[in-house]
A = this chain, B = another copy of it.
Amino acid sequence: MGDFEAIGKQFVQFYYSTFDTNRSALSSLYRDESMLTFETDKIAGVAAIVEKLTNLPFQKVEHKTDSVDAQPADAEGGILVLVTGALLTEGQERPMSFVQTFHLKQAGGSYFVFNDIFRLVYPAA
């Protein structure tokens, strides 16, 4: 397993455990140049991204990942990650499928989220 795969999986595990337990701490993973597409909303910059994520219309959420795939995205250590999974929010009886792709960039020896695109997936037909 390449380093990028181990780093991608570690990142994903940390991301969703932080999302599900202490959402405002996701601020450590974004920067001013970060972009988030959350369904049809487009948000830029760590402050606006964390405001969006902390104000989603549910307090409790649980993410479960089904697949995590990673590839090297550039010559500077960037990593592209695609996640498929399911999430369950408070008050809902059934989980919803989601997909999320992250483009992690390296800066100063650590990684931050440069690109982040999230979509719910509805059953085909």
Chain A interface residues (CB < 8 Å from chain B): 35, 37, 66-67, 69, 71-74, 80, 82, 84, 86, 94-97, 99, 101, 103, 114-115, 117, 119, 121-125
Contact = CB atoms under 8 A, between A and B. Distances in A.
B97 A80 contact: no
Mostly helix, strand, loop or mixed at chain A's interface? strand
A38 to B, nearest CB: 10
Copies in the complex: 2
Contacts of A115: 71, 73, 80
Contacts of A114: 73
B119 A96 contact: no
* For the complex of A and B, 3 pairs with smallest distance between CB atoms: A86-B124, A95-B124, A82-B117
